[in-house]
Structure 1
């Protein structure tokens, strides 16, 4: 519980290997190439020799964004629609049923999987 105060049970130090800059650039380039090769409209790649930077012009819609559902309208999210069955379940039926019979009359039918 108080490992940070009393130390760990094992006395072997944990060695954290830092990634060198060369390994970082190689990994980032490999990941970028993996993504860019999957794009159907090819992305434009520009090199700025003055600053030594790369820029990528991505298409308007990425392939994984085409599968996503559109965002819900603001009007539909602000006003939740009342559930008809929920209001029917909460109001007691007073059509001649006795008070002790009202909960049984409003009981929901069992759901079959």
Structure 2
């Protein structure tokens, strides 16, 4: 069932808000030795918008078990159902350019 609002004779779907809180990051597999930090990225499958956390510094051992206090909030149209509502949670490394971080790009 679809819910619509009538605003000035335009029909628009309700916008829903989805919140996700991550409290702990555990990496059970050792990462590459050259990987010293990661970023957690969250997106809905049908959306182009990606939300990213700040960098999380990894210890030299490569194994991680750290407490987090991350909250992501995503808005999505109410009519998205079934397969379009898949949430992707990704670990990404920061893109580097000749050992320098590119400003504005994670």
Question: More helix by proportion, 1 or 2?
Answer: 1
Tell me the TM-score range normalised by the shorter chain.
under 0.3
- Asked which structure has the greater RCO (Cα within 8 Å, sep 6+), the reply is 2
Question: More strand by proportion, 1 or 2?
Answer: 2
Question: What is the TM-score of this pair, normalised by structure 2?
Answer: 0.21
